[in-house]
Structure 1
Amino acid sequence: MTRSASLPDTVRGHWVERWSPAWFLPYARMARLERPVGWQLLLWPCWWSLALASNAAGEPWPNPWHWLLFLIGAVSMRGAGCVFNDIVDKDLDAQVYRTRNRPIPSGQVSRKQAAVFLVILALIGLAVLLQFNRFTVLMGFASLGVVAIYPFMKRITYWPQFVLGLAFSWGAFLGWTSVFGSLGWPAVLIYTASIAWTIFYDTIYAHQDKEDDVLVGIKSTALLFGPRTKPILSAFGTLTVAVLALACWLAGVGPLAYVGLAGFAAHLAWQVKVLDIAEPMVCLRLFRSNWHAGWFFFAGLVADALVRNGGFV
């Protein structure tokens, strides 16, 4: 198999593109391994919730083993979700410039081969999930319904980003339950905030495709918000920060967590300020920058736990 051209939104010079064997490259592209921001954004609700729960439990830092498990789980399950999405969207992808060269619509991988790869990724995710306590395992299985319906939502509603948020934010439950073995209001609030954040960043992402989406009948919040995108994103960003602040207050964390949250809020405000919905490359750059935004809040939570719970002793 020859090495085909990279997809338009591939990270330039990514190691997957440079070093993957030719036979594996289409599968890597189906799992979006060369576009890591997807699993990075899926990871943040997990790590935020884990860090907040660890802080609330009086631990000086989150369990490193759980950090790693959530990382592996985010990569594998984001990959599985993308493969499932590509199987469902084969015909639609063939009509959109940014997606028409994906492995399935371009004929590099058959739907049957993709289905086998999907099972492999799902089994990796299952192996990760089974390392946690029973309640967390049950919560993980409960996410499968919303994951399964997401690819169909863009056909029937202008709010597929909301449904994506329901799926992408589920880790907020798992991080908390991995520490406490039960749900708590801070986890529910991180989940809610992460849904608002998903609408924020995925609307920016969707503005890349809006012309093609109109032609093929795909719906999105980018089309729904249109020229009102900036003020509406400001509202969703404000909601995200306010609900995260409430989660911190209920969990009883200290001031460094709020310092980190302030950095996160400033990053979202900067994105709205520089956003140009008529420039696809600007939209892509800002969408990717949300990985960096998430670090502010996470670092604040970890630093607060270190100071408050004796991590420096």
Structure 2
Amino acid sequence: MTSVASPPPMPSRAALYLDLIRWNRPAGWLLLLWPGLSALWIAADGFPGWHLLAVFVLGTVLMRSAGCCVNDVADRDFDRHVKRTAQRPVTRGAVTPREALAVGAVLALLAFGLVLTTNPPTILLSVAALAVTLVYPYAKRLVSMPQAVLGIAFSFGIPMAFSAVLGASQWSLRAVADAVPTQAWALLMGNLFWVLAYDTEYAMVDRDDDLRIGMKTSAITLGRWDVAAVMGFYAAYLLSWWWIGRSLGLGAWFTAGIALAALQALWHWALIRDRTREGCFTAFRHNHWVGAAVFAGVALDLALH
């Protein structure tokens, strides 16, 4: 007698929501976390205290998760044509767009609740950060280098870290300007180049699919100069952070962290030079170790000098 195999069980709502926010792929929030923590340590001249550490770690995880919800809703009609993204919960219809946006809103509100425990300048900056986060998914339809918009969104934790440490209690743009020194904005601009590097690697994975569906990405815009541009972006990021860090008094341990990050960037060149999907995706997934090396250099230098 032939038995009929039963269909696989449907995933629970909780499992779908965890898939929606990429819970099993922490590389995304780690890419956000390391620059923010580096800025937090620099602004505080060392360990910033458990309160601010908890705010920035938890806030980073929550906001990256909320961003995934918005991005998947915005891209659902494109994602079904891309092999890597076709099985995302919203794209395959397991989670409705309204449901995904509701999850994202709850997560963003939780993150905002954490920001409310800091100070007025940081709260004001968080509103600007949210606006950039919401704009990014739609930049891919209009801007030839949408990774630059993502770079601003993924770097906004840097001025917020300085503001959280140095900000006063006044609700004004002047208070924001006083809380965020020029070096913080320079670190943001330098970090933007790192985002351009790793997100171009990410875009190289999907280039064939993106060309077919008409999506705009840096990998398509750069064409045959993509690998050279990625290495140039890494160089701009690391050199700018090294120069700014040295100007702020960071020394040999910080330089060692930058050097370790540079060695990783050279390994990424070996991974992406042939432009294979596997190599480019591996380089992207391991980028958080670049940020970890820079943060380790900052933390060790401030702890030991």
- Mark yes or no: TM-score above 0.5: yes
State yes or no: 1:94 paired with 2:84: no
* Structure 1 residue 65 displacement after superposition: 2.7
Structure number with greater Rg is: 2
| TM-score scaled by length of structure 1 | 0.87
The equivalent position to 2:29 in structure 1, one of 39, 48, 61, is 39
Residue in structure 2 matching 1:296, options 270, 293, 305: 293
What is the aligned partner in structure 1 of residue 137 from structure 2?
Answer: 151
**Within-5 A mapping of 1:61-76:** 61-76=47-62
Instruction: State the TM-score, normalizing by the size of structure 2.
Output: 0.90
Of 121, 125, 132, the residue aligned with 2:107 is: 121
* RMSD of equivalent CA atoms: 1.7
Q: Distance in 2 between matches of 1:65 and 1:271?
A: 35
Aligned length: 288
Q: Give the conservation status (yes or no) of the 8 Å contact 1:172–1:190.
A: yes
- Give % identity: 32
Structure 1 residues 245 and 117: alpha-carbon distance in aligned structure 2, compared to 1, 3 A threshold: same
What's 2:161 paired with?
Answer: 175
AA of the residue aligned to 1:253: L
Q: Is 1:197 the counterpart of 2:194 in the alignment?
A: yes
Compare 178-187 and 269-278 and name the one that shifted more.
269-278
CA 1:177 to 1:277, structure 2 compared with 1: closer, same or farther past 3 Å?
farther
Q: Could you tell me whether the CA contact under 8 Å between 1:204 and 1:287 is conserved in 2?
A: yes
| CA contact 1:136–1:177 (8 Å) conserved in 2 | yes
Segment drifting more, 286-295 vs 269-278: 269-278
The answer as to whether partners of 2:19 and 2:88 remain within 8 angstroms in 1 is: yes
State the alpha-carbon separation in 1 of the partners of residues 197 and 89 from structure 2. 28
What does residue 110 of structure 1 align with?
A: 96
Which residue is 1:16 aligned to?
A: none
Residues 185-218 of structure 1, C-alpha deviations (whole Å, 9 max, x = no match): 2211210111000000000011111111011100
Counterpart CA distance in 2 for 1:149 and 1:3 is: 37
Pairwise mapping of residues 1-313 of structure 1 onto structure 2 (< 5 A)? 22-55=12-45, 59=46, 61-181=47-167, 182-308=179-305
| Ranges in structure 2 where 5+ consecutive residues have no aligned partner | 1-6, 168-178
- Give the Cα–Cα distance (whole angstroms) in 1 for the partners of residues 101 and 292 of structure 2: 34
* SS of corresponding position for 1:143: helix
The CA distance in 2 between the partners of 1:190 and 1:3, in whole Å, is 48
Change (3 A) 1:2 1:110: farther
Deviation of 1:62 after TM superposition, in Å, equals 3.1
Q: Distance in 2 between matches of 1:166 and 1:117?
A: 24
Distance 1:299 1:240 in 2: 16
Q: CA deviation at 1:64?
A: 3.0
Moved over 4 A (4+): 1-4
1:277 Cα shift?
Answer: 4.9
Q: Which amino acid aligns with 1:27?
A: Y
Q: Give, in whole Å, the separation in 1 of the partners of 2:114 and 2:231.
A: 36
Maintained 8 Å contact 2:163/2:180: yes
Corresponding letter in the other structure for 2:261? F
Deviations 1:140-184 (Å, cap 9, x if unpaired)? 112122112111111122201111001011001111112211001
Q: 1:297 to 1:23 in 2, by over 3 A?
A: same
**Matched residues in 2 for 1:131 and 1:276: separation?**
46
Shift of 1:249: 2.5
Deviations 1:116-159 (A, max 9, x none): 11111111111111121221111111212211211111112220
